[in-house]
Amino acid sequence: MNIPGNIITLIAGIALTLISLWYGQNHGLMPIEASQGAQDVDELFNLMMTIATGLFLIVEGVIVYCMIRFRRKKGDQTDGPGIEGNVPLEIVWTAIPTVVVFILALYSFEVYNNLGGLDPETSRDFPQEEMQMAEGGNQGKMVAYNPHQGHLSLGIGNANADMEVDVNGIQYAWIFTGQDNGIVSGELHVPVNKRVKLNMKAGDVIHAFWVPQLRLKQDVLPGRDSNLTFIANREGKYPIICAELCGPYHGGMKTFLYVHSEEEYEQWVQDNTFANAQEKADTMASLSAPITDESRLQMHSHHLGIDEDVLKQLTIDN
Ligand SMILES: [Cu+2]
């Protein structure tokens, strides 16, 4: 039976589409989603995987087919036919990638926008404020641009948040300071389903704050504040990784994000507020107590083997 070429091409096309669609949804490459917005990112990634799978199968399929179909016959030393130029084919393989790139560009723009990446204050890299100075009547105007207005920011989401945490990235740790509770910690603790805004800065070199489960990554640059706003919607413990080679111990620069239930978070705040306050009180007490000659002597007398009576005599004689 001789099946027409068109039918074979059609069947191969359908099979290719089905395989690509299935693998695009079932690649299992992503960790669990722990934030609102993670799903948008994954849908974009799945679309890219679907297209990439299709392209891979076409390219590899053609190679394998040609290897078998056009294999050199034994004893055949002749050259193949010289084929050159095929305008329709060139139009097709230029047009298809162009369309694919356009779709991905628009779609990724949309996802970035939905995540809050196109917040006017966040997205505009150099806010330019015109400063116009009239020079003597209408002789002319001098226009000055001030590229750094102080509110220059990088990152995703600048909207009002339920809580804000200051993040300092230094070689080789992340330091988190809660803005409303003042708790300083080497780990990030947040309540579930609350909008959290991270105000991030780098203390020395460039770092990158990355939590794969939130599908968020942001460079942290010295001298330029950046921020990340997210809503973690799944309780758990997720790795925070520095994704910028920042020095010899870069690999050790990791910690964890803890997403707590409301009550658990309150408990954590209480526990740490108490610990912090106690520490502060102790420090304050030892700093505020005046050190007199007597108390200093008393401190050292212990080591010198002088007892209380001798000490009293010494200080009174003095
Ligand atoms: Cu780092």
Q: Give residue 214 CA to ligand 1 midpoint distance, Å.
A: 19
- Asked if 206 and 243 count as a contact pair (C-beta separation under 8 A), the reply is no
What is the reported pLDDT for 31?
A: 92
Q: Give residue 141 CA to ligand 1 midpoint distance, Å.
A: 47
Q: Give residue 67 CA to ligand 1 midpoint distance, Å.
A: 48
- Asked if 258 and 189 count as a contact pair (C-beta separation under 8 A), the reply is yes
Q: Give residue 231 CA to ligand 1 midpoint distance, Å.
A: 24
Q: Give residue 313 CA to ligand 1 midpoint distance, Å.
A: 60
What is the reported pLDDT for 22?
A: 95
Q: Give residue 226 CA to ligand 1 midpoint distance, Å.
A: 15
Q: Give residue 201 CA to ligand 1 midpoint distance, Å.
A: 12
Can you name the residues that pair with 218 across neighbouring β-strands? 209
Q: Give residue 253 CA to ligand 1 midpoint distance, Å.
A: 6
Per-residue pLDDT of the chain (318 residues; tens, 9 = 90+): 677 888 988 999 999 999 999 999 999 999 999 998 899 999 999 999 999 999 999 999 999 999 999 888 888 888 888 888 899 999 998 999 999 999 999 999 999 888 887 765 554 454 444 334 434 444 444 444 444 444 445 788 777 788 999 999 999 899 999 888 888 999 999 999 999 999 999 999 999 999 999 999 999 999 888 889 999 999 999 999 999 999 999 999 989 999 999 999 999 898 888 666 666 666 666 666 666 666 666 666 656 666 666 666 665 554
Q: Give residue 269 CA to ligand 1 midpoint distance, Å.
A: 27
Q: Give residue 96 CA to ligand 1 midpoint distance, Å.
A: 40
Q: Give residue 293 CA to ligand 1 midpoint distance, Å.
A: 48
Q: What phi and psi, each to the nearest 5 degrees, are found at residue 119?
A: -55, 130
Kind of pairing, strands 216-220 and 226-231?
Answer: unpaired
- pTM recorded for the entire structure: 0.70
What is the reported pLDDT for 306?
A: 63
Q: Give residue 108 CA to ligand 1 midpoint distance, Å.
A: 27
Measured distance CA(215)–CA(209) in Å, rounded: 11
Q: What phi and psi, each to the nearest 5 degrees, are found at residue 279?
A: -60, -45
Q: 77 exposed, middle or buried (CB, 10 Å; 0-12, 13-18, 19+)? A: exposed
Q: Give residue 49 CA to ligand 1 midpoint distance, Å.
A: 30
Q: What phi and psi, each to the nearest 5 degrees, are found at residue 141?
A: -120, 140
- Asked if 25 and 18 count as a contact pair (C-beta separation under 8 A), the reply is no
Q: Give residue 256 CA to ligand 1 midpoint distance, Å.
A: 14
